[in-house]
Amino acid sequence: MDVVKQSHAEEYGRQPEVIASAPGRVNLIGEHTDYNEGYVFPMAIDFSIRVALSRRSDTQLHFYSVDYKDRKRASLPVLKYRKEDRWANYPKGIINEFAERGHELGGMDVTIHGDVPQGAGLSSSAALEVATALAVQTAFGIEMGREELARLAQHAENEFVGVKCGIMDQFISRMAKEGHAMFLDARWLTYHFVPLSLKTARICITNSRVPHGLVDSEYNRRREECRRCVDLLSLRKPGTALRDFTPDDLRDSMGEIPETTRKRCLHVVEENQRVLEAEEALRHHDLVAFGKLMNRSHESLRDLYEVSCPELDWLVKRAQETEGVYGSRLTGAGFGGCTVTLVEEEAIPRYREHITAYERIFGFRPEIYLCRPCGGARVLESRI
Ligand code: GLA
């Protein structure tokens, strides 16, 4: 029997009414562009979080994490972020969001289990949010479109957890299509799928295992820098987000915008252009061009946006030096987490060999995941 189902039955003495599952993601290109209303190009991966849920007749909320062997409790009318609730703040945030939108809820027993590597920049939190949201939606018969549910999950993370993330992770986790990457315009939430027909090439994710402790504070800081830059740029030319500006606009503003801020924003506007080119390259099966864009994206994240770290730079450099690798870059918010590499299958052993010194140099044992593009969140079982 499924682990989450069995654990739920053992923990609460009854079968779950709903089991929902949502995948993590890897972003192929388009980093730190979503909250600037630009473009991203992620795919969902075959790691997921499962949430089992049964309704209670009171207003109590019981959460059980199989992986942490940890239990948390809360009560419906008063849901507050509490640091010590750690992982449970994500499902609490989702439930709070439904309640704030006026949906009639009751108490719930919730069990969580998953295999998305934690804190690795593969969106384990978005997967948990989306799986919880889908389970709650199903259990309480709430009518809500898939895009709306992704937005609800993002809002919960922004307001309840306090990380001002963009829409990419929740959106791909809910909407992904098997065998495809998603080109998403984060301003209009328009999107289309591009088949990832890589023939003999593979998407290889390398987990640096660097704990990305800085990520939340630095993330919010970068976001703020982008906002300030838009305020200054829009004195010269109309625009409400970095999406509205070009590299030339940034060059023209030299001296008027603090240099660090200008560098950050140059990354964003050029990265948007790279996503457009990458999507085109993939549609034409041009993996060489796609790989080059990945490499340029990494350089820009390292030198302009400054969200890389020595470990990620080392892994990317080693990958890029390996024969049979098209391109490699950090993926996700940065400051640790993972790299994503487009590589010929036959070159993977060579790449593994090439990074063996990593553990000796940095003290973390890297992990390699060969992922395939998966479908988005779904209800696995429902007895409602
Ligand atoms: C995190 C956020 C996303 C996105 C990336 C950086 O994963 O959740 O919204 O901003 O960082 O591209």
Domain locations in the chain? 2-195+374-382, 201-371
Gap from CA of 193 to ligand 1 centroid (Å):
19
Report the separation in Å between the CA atom of 194 and the middle of ligand 1, taken as the mean of its atom positions. Answer: 20
pLDDT for the residue 214: 66
Is 70 annotated in the active site?
A: no
Task: Determine the pLDDT at residue 1.
Answer: 64
Ligand 1 pocket: which of 32, 225, 308 to mutate (most atoms within 8 A of CB):
32
Q: Pocket residues for ligand 1 (CB within 6 Å)?
A: 27, 31-32, 34-35, 165-166, 168-169, 332-333
> Looking at 46, 67, 109, 169, which residue is catalytic?
169
Measured distance CA(234)–CA(255) in Å, rounded: 15
Q: Which atom of ligand 1 is nearest to the CA of 33?
A: 12
Our mutation pick for probing the ligand 1 site, out of 116, 165, 215, 331, counting the most ligand atoms within 8 A of Cβ, is: 165
Cα–Cα distance, 154 to 136 (Å, whole number): 16
For residue 123, which atom of ligand 1 is closest to its CA?
Answer: 7
What pLDDT is stored for residue 298 in this prediction? Answer: 98
Angstrom distance (rounded) from CA 114 to CA 116: 6
Taking each helix axis from N to C end, the angle separating 146-156 and 168-175, rounded to the nearest 10 degrees, works out to 150
Distance of CA 92 to the CA centre of its chain: 19
Q: What order of strands is seen across the sheet that includes strand 201-207?
A: 325-331, 338-344, 201-207, 367-371
* Torsion, CA 98, CA 101, CA 104, CA 108, rounded to 10: 20
Question: Which is nearest to 373 in space by CA: 25, 44, 123, 121?
Answer: 44
DSSP count for the chain of H helices, then E strands:
12, 12
Rg (CA), the chain: 21
Strand partners, 343: 202, 325
CATH class of the domain defined by 201-371: alpha beta
Write down how long the chain is: 384
Element (H, E) at 101: none
pLDDT in tens, the chain (384 residues): 699 999 999 999 999 999 999 999 999 999 999 999 999 999 999 999 999 999 999 999 999 999 999 999 999 987 999 999 999 999 999 999 999 999 999 999 999 999 999 889 999 999 999 999 999 999 999 999 999 999 999 999 999 999 899 999 999 999 999 999 999 999 999 999 999 989 999 999 999 999 876 677 889 899 999 999 999 999 989 999 999 999 999 988 888 899 999 999 999 999 999 999 999 999 999 999 999 999 999 999 999 999 999 999 999 999 999 999 999 999 999 999 999 999 999 999 999 999 999 999 999 999 999 999 999 999 999 999
CA 170 to ligand 1 centroid distance, Å = 10
Contacts with 304 (C-beta within 8 Å, 6 or more apart), sequence order = 263, 264, 266, 267
Which pLDDT score, from 0 to 100, does residue 353 have?
Answer: 96
230, 24 in Cβ contact below 8 A? no
Q: 2-195+374-382, what's its fold?
A: Ribosomal Protein S5; domain 2 (3.30.230)
- Quick one: pLDDT at residue 210? 94
170: left (phi over 0), alpha (psi -120 to 50) or beta: alpha
Rounded CA gap, 333 and 31, in Å? 7
The ligand 1 atom at the shortest distance from the C-alpha of residue 32 is 12
Report which ligand 1 atom has the smallest distance to the Cα of 219: 11
Q: Side-chain half-sphere of 24: how many Cα atoms within 13 Å?
A: 24
pLDDT of residue 212: 74
